[in-house]
């Protein structure tokens, strides 16, 4: 037998393949991660062939017993990849033939590696997305529990990294939770689109043996069947969507990491990471570096890079399958690994973080209540655009005198507007300021606890995907 005929496609060729080309062409080094899904799809396809009378009941039993034996070898680590196993499909089929003989050749009847690999990828990603979803829900649980527990802690809220208004620490935490809540919704929507079966599309034109694609899809847990065979073998939109989703959720994690990195610095001192998520310096023994957060911030760039690279690969391909598409798996695998690990690390960081409530409180300053001063006048009937300028003038007055805004007397303030009364002293109360923000989405205690309740109810309904 010619060497090239060991390949699934080798019958057309009489010459030898360049060994370098063999290595360049091979994907077994990374697509073996899909061994279980490849065997699951083959098991279902064998049953579909039997249903069409293309193999006997005895042959079906032989094939399924052989496929189970191949799976056992992968699971116990005894499967041996040999020369010529260019991908997981070739490796599994080769080993099946060694175990059950010539009947293994019937398994590929009407099936192409084009629809086979598309099916394997969808099965694999579907399984991984379900696991990632659970990691995401756990992160949300950790953050919501922390928000409820630390609802009384006040801190500065920032815009442009400048102190702006007082908020609750819990309100800040929940701002990230709502981003992750939207990520979870998007993931559920993506899962529905992943769950489409291309099996039975053949190489590109369809299955000539009238295999029941609907029953085949149902047996594999797919919700629907790809309706166009050309589209079925080409479509990698589900990979692109997952890579985009990964980039987006990692950007949310990265922003949290940046906040916590800043807040853990000596200049802020609002939070301290647990030793389990920190490292030291090789030179300076006093250092406690937030390496977990810095790695999370860095991993977001990695996730985005995988998406950008994949989109460049796919953007100009002609119809149906092209070998360029071998580049679709490593970005998918890497994004899954990156996101799954990052979600778990983020949950660990948040669960073990220590906050310095005293330092947060002491960082509040009277100038952060300048808006409250303007709102005081609004309640006296003065238009807000006018009160904004009056409050700004009060800030300037305090700066010129070298005193805190709260040290200006009612008489001082009446120089700016006669509506100021002695009760203006009540403005300089951070808790009161926060509690006034009591409309939906505000930072008052009631609205923060409402957010927690809504999120807890949603978590209770967000049962594992089936």
Q: pLDDT digit string (tens) for 341-383?
A: 999 999 999 999 999 999 999 999 999 999 999 999 999 999 9
DSSP secondary structure letters along 10-49:
GGG--SPPPHHHHHHH--HHHHGGGHHHHHHHHHHHHHHH
Look-up: residue for tokens 């099996």? 199
Q: pLDDT digit string (tens) for 408-438?
A: 999 999 999 999 999 999 999 999 999 999 9
In this structure, whether the domain defined by 366-444 belongs to CATH 3.30.1330.60 is answered with: no
What percent of the chain is modeled with pLDDT above 90?
Answer: 88
Q: pLDDT digit string (tens) for 228-263?
A: 999 999 999 999 999 999 999 999 999 999 999 999
Query: pLDDT averaged over the chain?
Result: 93
Cβ neighbours of 353 (radius 10 Å): 17
Task: Please say if the pLDDT value at position 4 is more than 80.
Answer: no
User: Are the C-beta atoms of 244 and 216 separated by less than 8 Å?
Assistant: no
User: Are the C-beta atoms of 317 and 325 separated by less than 8 Å?
Assistant: yes
Extended strands (E) in 303-428: 354-355
> Which residues 6+ apart lie within 8 Å of 118 measured at CB?
198, 199, 201, 232, 233, 235
Q: CA 374 to CA 405: how far, in whole Å?
A: 13
Task: Please say if the pLDDT value at position 205 is more than 70.
Answer: yes
The pLDDT of residue 329 is 96
Alpha helices per DSSP H over 150-236: 169-194, 213-219, 229-234
2 pLDDT tier (thresholds 50, 70, 90): very low
Task: Please say if the pLDDT value at position 215 is more than 80.
Answer: yes
Q: What is the CATH number of domain 114-360?
A: 1.20.200.10
Closest CA to 181 of 259, 252, 254, 260: 252
Exposure class string for 322-344: b at 16+ Cβ within 10 A, else e: eeebbebbbbbbbbbebbbebbe
The pLDDT of residue 11 is 55
The pLDDT of residue 13 is 47
Q: Could you give the angle at the alpha carbon of 278 between the alpha carbons of 292 and 156, nearest 5°? A: 75
Q: Which residues are part of the catalytic machinery?
A: 160, 281
- Measured in degrees and rounded to the nearest 5, phi and psi for residue 264 equal -90, -5
Q: CA 380 to CA 78: how far, in whole Å?
A: 81
Task: Please say if the pLDDT value at position 147 is more than 90.
Answer: yes
Closest CA to 111 of 231, 229, 241: 229
Q: CA 262 to CA 172: how far, in whole Å?
A: 14
Task: Please say if the pLDDT value at position 465 is more than 70.
Answer: no
The pLDDT of residue 282 is 52
Q: CA 181 to CA 147: how far, in whole Å?
A: 15
What are 150's two structure tokens?
């630390």
The pLDDT of residue 280 is 60
Look-up: residue for tokens 């997952």? 242
Where along the chain do its domains lie?
Answer: 3-109, 114-360, 366-444
Cβ neighbours of 231 (radius 10 Å): 15
Q: pLDDT digit string (tens) for 66-125?
A: 999 999 999 999 999 999 899 999 999 999 999 999 999 999 999 999 999 999 999 999
The mean pLDDT of 319-328, rounded to a whole number, is 91
User: Are the C-beta atoms of 100 and 62 separated by less than 8 Å?
Assistant: yes
Closest CA to 34 of 123, 114, 94: 123
Burial class (CB in 10 A: 0-12, 13-18, 19+), 396: exposed
Alpha helices per DSSP H over 52-112: 57-76, 88-100
The pLDDT of residue 26 is 86
DSSP three-state, residue 209: coil
Alpha helices per DSSP H over 80-196: 88-100, 113-149, 169-194
Alpha helices per DSSP H over 324-365: 329-352, 357-362
1 pLDDT tier (thresholds 50, 70, 90): very low
For 358, half-sphere exposure in the C-beta direction (CA atoms, 13 angstrom radius) is 0
Q: pLDDT digit string (tens) for 14-33?
A: 556 677 877 887 889 999 99
Task: Please say if the pLDDT value at position 9 is more than 60.
Answer: no
What are 144's two structure tokens?
């919501």
Residues 298, 303, 308, 312, CA torsion sign: positive
- Is 0.75 surpassed by the pTM of this model? yes
Fold of 3-109: Fumarase C; Chain B, domain 1 (1.10.275)
Q: CA 270 to CA 263: how far, in whole Å?
A: 5
The pLDDT of residue 397 is 96
> 391: part of which helix (H) or strand (E)?
helix 384-401
């Amino acid at each position: 037998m010619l060497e090239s005929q060991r390949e699934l496609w080798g019958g057309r060729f009489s010459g030898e393949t360049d060994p370098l080309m063999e290595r360049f062409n091979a994907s077994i080094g990374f697509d073996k991660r899909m061994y279980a899904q490849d065997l699951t799809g083959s098991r279902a396809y064998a049953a579909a062939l039997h249903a069409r009378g293309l193999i006997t009941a005895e042959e079906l039993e032989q094939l399924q017993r052989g496929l189970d034996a191949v799976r056992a070898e992968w699971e116990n680590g005894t499967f041996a990849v040999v020369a010529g196993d260019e991908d997981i499909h070739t490796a599994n089929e080769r080993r099946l033939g060694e175990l059950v003989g010539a009947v293994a050749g019937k398994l590929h009847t009407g099936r192409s590696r084009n629809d086979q690999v598309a099916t394997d990828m969808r099965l694999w990603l579907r399984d991984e997305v379900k696991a990632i979803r659970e990691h995401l829900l756990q992160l949300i649980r950790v953050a919501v529990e922390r928000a409820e527990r630390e609802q009384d802690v006040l801190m500065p809220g920032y815009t442009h990294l400048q102190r702006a208004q007082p908020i609750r620490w819990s309100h800040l935490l929940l701002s990230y939770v709502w981003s992750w809540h939207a990520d979870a919704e998007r993931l559920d929507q993506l899962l529905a689109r992943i769950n489409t079966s291309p099996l039975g599309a053949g190489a590109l034109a369809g299955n000539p043996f009238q295999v029941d694609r609907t029953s085949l899809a149902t047996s594999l847990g797919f919700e629907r069947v790809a309706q166009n065979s050309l589209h079925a073998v080409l479509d990698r939109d589900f990979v692109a969507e997952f890579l985009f989703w990964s980039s987006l959720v990692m950007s949310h994690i990265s922003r949290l990491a940046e906040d916590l990195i800043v807040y853990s610095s000596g200049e802020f001192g609002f939070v301290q990471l647990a030793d389990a998520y920190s490292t030291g310096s090789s030179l300076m023994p006093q250092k406690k570096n937030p390496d977990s957060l810095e790695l999370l911030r860095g991993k977001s760039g990695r996730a985005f890079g995988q998406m950008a690279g994949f989109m460049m690969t796919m953007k100009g391909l002609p119809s149906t399958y092209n070998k360029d598409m071998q580049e679709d798996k490593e970005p998918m695998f890497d994004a899954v690994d990156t996101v799954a690990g990052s979600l778990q690390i983020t949950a660990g960081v948040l669960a073990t973080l220590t906050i310095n409530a005293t330092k947060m409180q002491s960082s509040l300053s009277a100038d952060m209540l300048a808006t409250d001063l303007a709102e005081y006048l609004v309640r006296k009937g003065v238009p807000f655009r006018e009160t904004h300028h009056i409050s700004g003038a009060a800030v300037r007055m305090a700066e010129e005198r070298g005193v805190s805004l709260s040290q200006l007397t009612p008489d001082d303030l009446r120089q700016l507007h006669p509506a100021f009364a002695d009760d203006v002293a009540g403005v300089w109360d951070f808790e009161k300021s926060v509690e006034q923000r009591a409309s939906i989405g505000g930072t008052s205690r009631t609205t923060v606890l409402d957010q927690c309740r809504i999120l807890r109810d949603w978590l209770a309904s967000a049962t594992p995907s089936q």
